[in-house]
Chains A and B, each alone.
Chain A
Amino acid sequence: MMGPITLRIPRSMMVELNDHLFPGDGDEHGAVIGAAVVPTSDGGMRLLAQELFLAEDGIDYLPGQRGYRMLTADFVRRCALACADRELAYLPIHNHGGTDQVGFSQPDMASHERGYPALLDILDGPPVGALVFAQRAVAGDIWLPDGRRHELDHAIVVGPTSARLQARPSEPSLVDPMYDRQARIFGDRGQDLLRRQTVVIVGLGGAGSLVNEYVARLGVGHIVGIDFDRLDETNYPRIVGARPPDLEGRRSWLHWIGGGRLGKSDHQLPYKVDIAQRVAREANPTISYDAIVGDITDDAVARRLGDADAIFLAADSMQARLVVNRAVHQYLVPAWQVGAKVQVNKETGDLVDVFSVVRHLVPGETCMWCNGLISSSMLAEEAVSAEQRRRQRYIDEVAAPSVITLNAVATAHAVNDYLFSVATPERNSGETKWVKYRPGIQQPAVEIPRTDPSCSECCSSRAAGDGQRLPTKTTRVA
Chain B
Amino acid sequence: MTPEVEAAVAELVSAFPKATVTATSTGDGGADVTIDPVDPGPAYNERETWVRFNIGFQYPHADVYPIFVRPDLVRADGADHPEGIALGSVGDTRALQLSRRSNRLNPASDTAALKVTKVLHWLETR
Q: Does B114 contact A (CB under 8 A)?
A: no
Task: Flag if B1 contacts A478 (CB, 8 Å).
Answer: yes
Chain B residues near A372 (CB, 8 Å)? Answer: 104
Q: Does B15 contact A (CB under 8 A)?
A: no
Known contacts A474-B28, A475-B27, A478-B25, A379 near B2 by CB under 8 Å: no
Q: Does B105 contact A (CB under 8 A)?
A: yes
Residue of B nearest to A372 (CB): B104
Residue of B nearest to A298 (CB): B28
For B61, give its contact among A394, A454, A471, A477 (CB under 8 Å).
A471
Known contacts A379-B58, A383-B30, A478 near B63 by CB under 8 Å: no
Chain B residues near A469 (CB, 8 Å)? Answer: 2-3
Task: Flag if B88 contacts A391 (CB, 8 Å).
Answer: yes
Task: Flag if A391 contacts B6 (CB, 8 Å).
Answer: no
* Nearest CB of B to A467, in Å: 14
Task: Flag if B62 contacts A380 (CB, 8 Å).
Answer: yes
Task: Flag if A456 contacts B89 (CB, 8 Å).
Answer: no
Residue of A nearest to B32 (CB): A384
Within 8 A of B (CB), among A437-473: 454, 456, 469, 471-473
Known contacts A456-B107, A473-B57, A383 near B3 by CB under 8 Å: no
* Nearest CB of A to B53, in Å: 9
In this complex, how many residues of chain B approach chain A with their Cβ under 8 Å: the count is: 34
Q: Does B90 contact A (CB under 8 A)?
A: yes
Known contacts A380-B63, A380-B65, A392-B66, A471 near B25 by CB under 8 Å: no
The contact sample of 21 A-B pairs, CB cut-off 8 A, is A319-B58, A374-B61, A376-B102, A377-B65, A377-B102, A379-B56, A380-B62, A380-B64, A383-B28, A391-B88, A391-B89, A392-B66, A469-B2, A471-B58, A473-B29, A474-B2, A474-B28, A476-B1, A476-B29, A477-B1, A478-B23
* Nearest CB of A to B10, in Å: 10
Task: Flag if B101 contacts A377 (CB, 8 Å).
Answer: yes
Q: Does A226 contact B (CB under 8 A)?
A: no
Q: Does B97 contact A (CB under 8 A)?
A: yes
Task: Flag if A474 contacts B29 (CB, 8 Å).
Answer: yes
Task: Flag if B1 contacts A474 (CB, 8 Å).
Answer: yes
1/0 contact string of A382-416 vs chain B (CB within 8 Å): 11100010011010000000000000000000000
- Chain A contact residues: helix, strand, loop or mixed: loop
How many Å lie between the Cα of A437 and that of B51 in the bound state? 46
Q: Does B19 contact A (CB under 8 A)?
A: no
Task: Flag if A383 contacts B66 (CB, 8 Å).
Answer: no
Residue of A nearest to B105 (CB): A376
Residue of A nearest to B28 (CB): A473
Chain B residues near A475 (CB, 8 Å)? Answer: 27-29
Q: Does A280 contact B (CB under 8 A)?
A: no
Task: Flag if A379 contacts B28 (CB, 8 Å).
Answer: no
Q: Does B76 contact A (CB under 8 A)?
A: no
For B86, give its contact among A369, A380, A394, A476 (CB under 8 Å).
A394
How many Å lie between the Cα of A475 and that of B29 in the bound state? 6
Chain B residues near A376 (CB, 8 Å)? Answer: 61-63, 65, 101-102, 105
Residue of B nearest to A475 (CB): B27
Within 8 A of A (CB), among B1-47: 1-3, 6, 9, 23, 25-30
Q: Does B78 contact A (CB under 8 A)?
A: no
Q: Does A333 contact B (CB under 8 A)?
A: no
1/0 contact string of A153-184 vs chain B (CB within 8 Å): 00000000000000000000000000000000
How many Å lie between the Cα of A231 and that of B112 in the bound state? 39
Q: Does A322 contact B (CB under 8 A)?
A: yes
Task: Flag if A392 contacts B57 (CB, 8 Å).
Answer: no
Task: Flag if B54 contacts A456 (CB, 8 Å).
Answer: no
* Nearest CB of A to B84, in Å: 12
How many Å lie between the Cα of A4 and that of B91 in the bound state? 51
How many Å lie between the Cα of A478 and that of B89 in the bound state? 27
Q: Does B108 contact A (CB under 8 A)?
A: yes
Chain B residues near A377 (CB, 8 Å)? Answer: 63, 65, 101-102
Task: Flag if A388 contacts B56 (CB, 8 Å).
Answer: no
How many Å lie between the Cα of A136 and that of B87 in the bound state? 66
How many Å lie between the Cα of A377 and that of B63 in the bound state? 5
Chain A residues near B3 (CB, 8 Å)? Answer: 469
How many Å lie between the Cα of A392 and that of B23 in the bound state? 20
Chain A residues near B108 (CB, 8 Å)? Answer: 454, 456
How many Å lie between the Cα of A469 and that of B57 in the bound state? 12
Residue of A nearest to B53 (CB): A380
Chain A residues near B97 (CB, 8 Å)? Answer: 392
How many Å lie between the Cα of A474 and that of B90 in the bound state? 23
How many Å lie between the Cα of A478 and that of B3 in the bound state? 8
Residue of A nearest to B30 (CB): A383
Task: Flag if A379 contacts B62 (CB, 8 Å).
Answer: yes
Chain A residues near B62 (CB, 8 Å)? Answer: 376, 379-380, 383
